[in-house]
Structure 1
Amino acid sequence: MKKATIFIAALLSGCAEMPAYSNIESDFIDESKYVTLETDTYAERKSRSLLSLEANLNIIRINGKKVGDIPFSTYYYRNDSPQKALLKPGKYTIQLEYKLPSHFLFANLEFLGHAGQKILAKSAYIGLNRVDVWLEDAETGKKISSRVK
């Protein structure tokens, strides 16, 4: 019985990370020609756990296209949204989800990405039910996003 319980828990929690989203139509990708967007969950905390009480930052939509929050994906993946995206340079509107075990919120952000740029999606807990979510250039640390209403 104990082995069956462990197997079912492993099945439901998945074994791998959801693959990165990409709008590039090529099998060979030279990251120096594209924009890399990563969440701080992915970049700064490589081993996440479903039992952790730490917040996850997920990519949900890019330019209105749903790329995350995919139902039943936990059968295959540990998470239901990509934590990384490789994008063509240009202007983007993204929706990020700040997710705790029992709470979540969405943030819509706009940014202009340049070739070879690495962007980190960051979040900070400010106070009771208040969270700040932003995008910053990984090299300079400068905030590069604006809020979309």
Structure 2
Amino acid sequence: MKKTIILIAALLSGCAEMPAYTNVESGTIDESKYVVLETNTHAERNKRSYISLEPELNIIRVNGEKVGNIPFSTYYYKNDSPQKAILIPGKYSIQLEYKLPRHFLFADLEFTGHAGQKIIAKTKYIGLNLLEVWLEDAETGEKISTRAE
């Protein structure tokens, strides 16, 4: 009985991280030539548990293309959206999802990424139903995003 419960929990929660999204066409990727965008869930809590009540910050869309929130992907992955993206340098519009077990919020942001730049998507709880979401340069800590119009 105990083994059955563990197996069901493993199947429902997934086994692996969803791979990083990329718009790079090459097979091998040298991150120093591209823009690396990570959410603070991925960058700061890489040892999080499979069944966690902590919030997740996921990448849902890149330039209007759906890359996350994919139905049935959780049968294999422990999350349904990538939390890392490797992008060709340039201007981007992204949609992030802040997700709790029973609530979620979407944030649309724009930024310009440069080769070799690492960007972290961060959040700050302000108060009841208020949350700030932004992108910052991992090296300098400078806020580099604007709200998408």
Query: Normalising by the residue count of structure 2, what TM-score does the alignment of the two structures yield?
Result: 0.97
CA distance in 2, matches of 1:32, 1:111: 18
Deviations 1:91-116 (A, max 9, x none): 00000000111110000000000000
CA distance in 2, matches of 1:19, 1:29: 13
SS in 1 for 2:123: strand
Match of 2:98 in 1: 98
Match of 1:29 in 2: 29
Alignment of 1:1-149 (within 5 A): 1-149=1-149
Runs of 4+ in 1 over 4 A off after TM superposition: none
Identity of matched residues, %: 76
Q: Give the deviation of 1:53 after TM superposition.
A: 2.5
What letter corresponds to residue 104 of structure 1 in structure 2?
F
Q: Which runs of 5+ in 1 are unaligned?
A: none
Q: Give the deviation of 1:51 after TM superposition.
A: 3.5
8 Å contact 2:13–2:51 — kept in the other structure? no
What letter corresponds to residue 117 of structure 1 in structure 2?
Q
What letter corresponds to residue 40 of structure 1 in structure 2?
N
CA distance in 2, matches of 1:148, 1:30: 29
What letter corresponds to residue 147 of structure 2 in structure 1?
R
SS in 2 for 1:134: strand
CA distance in 1, matches of 2:136, 2:19: 22
Deviations 1:2-56 (A, max 9, x none): 2111111111111100000000000121111100000000000012235422211
SS in 2 for 1:5: helix
Q: Give the deviation of 1:148 after TM superposition.
A: 1.2
CA distance in 2, matches of 1:137, 1:39: 12
What letter corresponds to residue 77 of structure 1 in structure 2?
Y
Query: Normalising by the residue count of structure 1, what TM-score does the alignment of the two structures yield?
Result: 0.97
C-alpha RMSD of the superposition = 0.9
Q: Which runs of 5+ in 2 are unaligned?
A: none
What letter corresponds to residue 29 of structure 2 in structure 1?
I
CA distance in 2, matches of 1:124, 1:49: 21
CA distance in 1, matches of 2:6, 2:44: 28
What letter corresponds to residue 139 of structure 2 in structure 1?
E
